[in-house]
A and B are shown apart, each in its own frame.
Chain A
Amino acid sequence: MSIQVIQPGLMTTIQDLGRFGSQKYGVVVSGSMDTYALRIANILVGNAENEGALEMTLLGATLQFTEDTLIALTGGDFQATIDGQIIPMWRPLLVPKGAILKCKSAIKGCRGYISFAGGLAIPTVMSSKSTYTRAHLGGFEGRALQKKDCLACHTMTVENKSILQLVTQKTKPVTWTANGHALVSSTQTPTIRILPGTEFDRFDQTSQQTFVNQPYTLTTAADRMGYRLEGTPLKLSEPFSLLSEGVTYGTIQVPPNGQPIILMADRQTTGGYPKIGQVISADLPKLAQLQANAKIRFIQVTMEEAERAFIEKEQIIQEIDQAIRLKLSN
C-alpha cells in the first residue's frame, strides 16, 4: 500500500470522467464535478485524462505516502503542504516516501483534485472508477474515504516515468505550471451561460425574464447530486404534467415551489420537472467550484456560442497537453 489516509476531509471520493453507457439502466453517471481540473491533473502526471483521482470538497484530506509518488493538485485551492512546506498547484510533484500531504480548507473554489501517476488501483464497476455513494457503487468500497483507508497505485507507464524523470532531474527543476485559470475562473459572483431548457416557453413571460435578470443564490442544499437555488420564484404560464425523460449535467429544473435546482454529477438519470434552462458545458466546472451563498447570474447564449466555448476549452486542454509533451522531448 502506498497511500494512507490520515484525515479524509469532508467528502473525499474517487472520481474519473463518469460512468457513461449505463444511464439506460438507471445507473447514475457520477464522475468529477470539475472535469477540466480532473483532466489536467491526470495530464500533469502522464495518466490518461479519464483516470480516477481524488475529489476533495471544501475541507481537504491529509495523506501519508509510504513510497515515492508522483502527484498533481488542481481545482480549488486547499492550501496544500508537503511536510509543512507550501506546494504549487497545477504542476507534477514528487512526494517522497514517508512524507505527509496536507490539504486544509478551500480558500478558493470548492473542489480540489489529486491525481496519482499510474492511477489508483481499485476495481472498475461498469467501466468506471467513479464513486456513487448513494448506491454504494464504484470508487473505494462505494463510499467517501475514511481515516485509515489505504490506497494503492498501479505501476507507472512509460508516460508516467518520463514525467517523473522531468520532475526529479536536478539541473533543470520544474518551475512551470499549467494555466488552469484559462479553464476555470473562481469567483463567488459568477456569470453562468445557459441555453433555454426544453420547457422554457412554458414559463410565463415574467419568469422567463426574471431568470436571466435576477441573481440566484446557491443555498447550503448543494451537493454532488444537485444545487438548490434561491431567488424570485419561477412560474409556469399554466400547470401541466410532464412524463419523466432523460436529463443531463447542468439541467435546470423547476419544481412546484418555483425555486430552480441545477442537476450536477450525481443526478438521477431521468426527471419529470419542467426544465427552464441548461448550463452550457464550458461553464459546468465554474459551477462545480462555487461555495454556498454564491450569487449566480444566468445569461442566455446561442447554440453557436455554447459550442464555440466548448471547442475553445478543448483546444486549451490540448495545448496544455502538447506543451508538456514538448518539455518531455527537450
Chain B
Amino acid sequence: MMNKVTIKSLGDAALIVQLGEGIHPSIHKRVRSLQLSLENQPFKGFMEAVPSYNNITIYYNPFVVYQAYPDKTGATSFQKVSTFLQKLVANLNEHNQLKEPIVSIPILYGGQWGPDLVDVAQHNGLTPDEVIQLHTSEDYLVYMIGFAPGFPFLGGMNQRIATPRKETPRLAIPTGSVGIAGEQTGVYPVETPGGWQIIGRTPLDLFLPQHSPPTLLQSGDKVRFLPITLEEYETYKEENR
C-alpha cells in the first residue's frame, strides 16, 4: 500500500506524482524523499518540483525531454518522464535521513495583535490562556508552502482550539498574523485579505526575498510557537530591522 504511486498529467509541461491520500506525516516523508531524490538526480528538462500534502507537482520542458531522450517507440515526453519517476519512486530510500529542523516562532498573543483570541476561546469553552497553552504545546509539521510567498500549511493543531473561519473576511490581515481556520493554523508572511481567526502576531519575517532560501520555513520543517510579551516583541522587531 505504501508503494502505490499514480502519475497524472497537468497539461503537457507538468505532472503530479501522487504518493498517497489524506494528510499523514508518513506520506509526507515519502513526498520529501522524492523531492530530494529528484533534485539530486534530475532528468534533462526538469525545471522544478513543488511538494504538497501527499503529492509532488513536477514542472518540465517537453521539448528538452524530446531532444535529450530520443526513442523509436514514439513515446511522449510525458511517458518518458513518468517512466523515469516510477523508477525513482521504486528506489526511494524509506530510511532516508531527512532533516527535520525545529523552528521557533515567537508570538505575541491577544490584544490588537490577536483580535480573535477571545472569540476562539469562547467558541471552544476555554479561557484565552488555555487557547495559548494549547496552541504552544504542539510541534507542527510544515506540509507545504503555498497560497502566498512563505505561507506555511501546518499540520498537527489540537482539535480543541479548532474554530471556523470568520463569516466576513477582513480586507487586510497584517504581516506576521497567526491565525486559525477550521483545524488549520498558519502565519501570514505578507499582508493579504483573509478570513482566518487571528490570535496573535510574530515579529519574525517569514518571507525574505533577498535570502536563499527566501523563506523562514520550508516543507518538512517542524514549527514550535513561543508566547512572548509586548516588550519581547518590540525587541525582536528592533533586532530584525
Interface residues in chain A, defined as those with a beta carbon under 8 Å from any beta carbon in chain B: 20-28, 125-126, 135, 137, 195, 197-198, 243-248, 250-251, 268-270, 275, 278-281, 303-304, 306-307, 310-311, 314
Contacts and interface: CB of A to CB of B under 8 A. Distances in A.
B214 A248 contact: no
Interface string B136-148: 0000000011111
Given A248-B13, A269-B50, A270-B50, A307 B146 contact: no
B133 to A, nearest CB: 29
Nearest to A317: B63
Given A278-B10, A311-B63, A24 B50 contact: yes
Nearest to A271: B146
B209 A125 contact: yes
B52 A25 contact: no
15 contacts: A22-B48, A25-B150, A25-B215, A125-B209, A195-B11, A195-B12, A197-B10, A245-B55, A246-B14, A246-B16, A246-B52, A247-B10, A279-B11, A306-B12, A307-B12
User: Quick one: which of B13, B55, B147 has the most chain A CB within 10 A?
Assistant: B13
B53 A26 contact: no
A24 B51 contact: yes
A243 B23 contact: yes
A23 B11 contact: no
B57 interface: yes
Given A248-B59, A270-B144, A243 B53 contact: yes
Interface in B34-79: 35, 47-57, 59, 62-63, 66, 76-78
Given A135-B190, A248-B57, A307-B12, A25 B144 contact: no
A153 B9 CA distance: 40
A126 to B, nearest CB: 6
B146 A244 contact: yes
A310 B150 contact: no
Contacts of A28: 149
B214 A126 contact: yes
B197 interface: no
A26 to B, nearest CB: 4
B219 interface: yes
B5 to A, nearest CB: 15
Contacts of B151: 26
Nearest to A278: B11
Contact of A245 (B52, B66, B145, B218): B52
Nearest to A196: B9
Nearest to A305: B12
Interface in B186-204: 189-190
A311 B66 CA distance: 8
A244 B143 CA distance: 11
Contacts of B14: 246, 248
Contacts of A303: 9, 12, 76, 78
A312 to B, nearest CB: 10
A244 B210 CA distance: 27
Given A246-B146, A281-B11, A307-B12, 5 more contacts: A24-B35, A243-B54, A245-B57, A251-B10, A303-B76
Contacts of A314: 63
B231 to A, nearest CB: 31
A25 B218 contact: yes
Given A244-B144, A245-B57, A198 B8 contact: yes
A246 B55 CA distance: 9
User: Sorted from nearest, which 7 A-B pairs have the closest CB atoms?
Assistant: A246-B57, A270-B146, A278-B11, A246-B50, A306-B12, A245-B52, A26-B145
A303 B14 CA distance: 12
A24 B48 contact: yes
Given A22-B214, A245-B57, A307-B77, A251 B150 contact: no
Given A24-B145, A310-B62, A244 B190 contact: no
A256 B13 CA distance: 27
Contacts of A278: 9-12
Given A20-B48, A198-B8, A268 B23 contact: no
Nearest to B49: A24
A247 B209 contact: no
B146 A268 contact: yes
B146 A20 contact: no
Contact of A268 (B57, B59, B148, B207): B148
A26 B62 contact: no
Contacts of A270: 50, 52, 144, 146-147
A251 to B, nearest CB: 7
Contact of B57 (A126, A247, A306): A247
Contact of B76 (A248, A250, A269, A307): A307
A314 B13 CA distance: 14
A27 B149 contact: yes
Contacts of B113: none
Contacts of B49: 24
Nearest to A306: B12
B188 to A, nearest CB: 12
User: Quick one: which of A21, A246, A248, A269 has the most chain B CB within 10 A?
Assistant: A246
Given A28-B149, A270-B50, A137 B59 contact: no
B48 A195 contact: no
